[in-house]
Amino acid sequence: MAAILQVNQLCVDYGNIHALKGISFLVNEGEIVTLIGANGAGKSTTLNTIAGLLKKASGSVTFLDADLSHVPTHKIVPRGLALVPEGRRVFLQMTVKENLEMGAYARGGDTIAQGLERAYALFPRLKERRTQVAGTLSGGEQQMLAMGRALMSNPQLLMLDEPSMGLAPILVDQIFEIIQNLHKSGVTILLVEQNAQAALSVADRGYVLETGKLVASGTGAELLASPAIKKAYLGG
């Protein structure tokens, strides 16, 4: 498998705080790779830096063999990389359909209709609610909308930041089922998730972040079986 994303010795600072301390990892085409760790470990910082929302202090991010170091955020999405941000951040005053169409701004043309068709097939609830204002949706529906909006750009890599945050257990199961279905449809996924059990259960591989450093890696099954990981993140 070819690496679609390579992060090499990435360092990010918030003033005097070293948020990321030289982390390196890769995502191969067709994989689900997860980053797990406690609050403040640097998981969201990693995704936001890859997406160009945060500036790195040093290191490199290579996507599809191109260095993203000096590529502005609005030009990263058309290259095939999309982020579903923590907290969903849908446009609350716009309808479901309008939110989805915003996700295709970098594509345009008749591809919008194709994107809507795909989003509605993946998320039938969104089709039912397509004329409804996004601010009136439930948390789970807003998460589906955020994921559908990101998929409108037809990304080769989809980054998900805490998709289960704040959702009831039954909705968490539903979101992870959707993630698996996306994977089966050929989408490569980089998943940041505090629910380590759920994340590792669907991941091909995982990395463990602690205070800005990668301290463990392995297949999802290996990390699930690790006594140290169980003790620290799985309540075992």
Q: What is the pLDDT of residue 175?
A: 86
pLDDT at position 106 is: 62
pTM score:
0.90
Output the pLDDT for position 90: 86
- Using H for helix, E for strand and C for coil, what is the string for the chain? CCEEEEEEEEEEEECCEEEEEEEEEEEECCCEEEEECCCCCCHHHHHHHHCCCCCCCEEEEEECCEECCCCCHHHHHHHCEEEECCCCCCCCCCEHHHHHHHCCCCCCCCHHHHHHHHHHHHCHHHHHCCCCEHHHCCHHHHHHHHHHHHHCCCCCEEEEECCCCCCCHHHHHHHHHHHHHHHHCCCEEEEECCCHHHHHHHCCEEEEEECCEEEEEEEHHHHHHCHHHHHHHCCC
Question: Given this model, what pLDDT does residue 109 score?
Answer: 57
pLDDT of residue 69: 84
Per-run averaged pLDDT (10 residues), the chain, 236 residues:
92 92 97 93 95 93 92 86 84 88 70 85 90 88 89 91 86 88 92 92 96 95 92 76
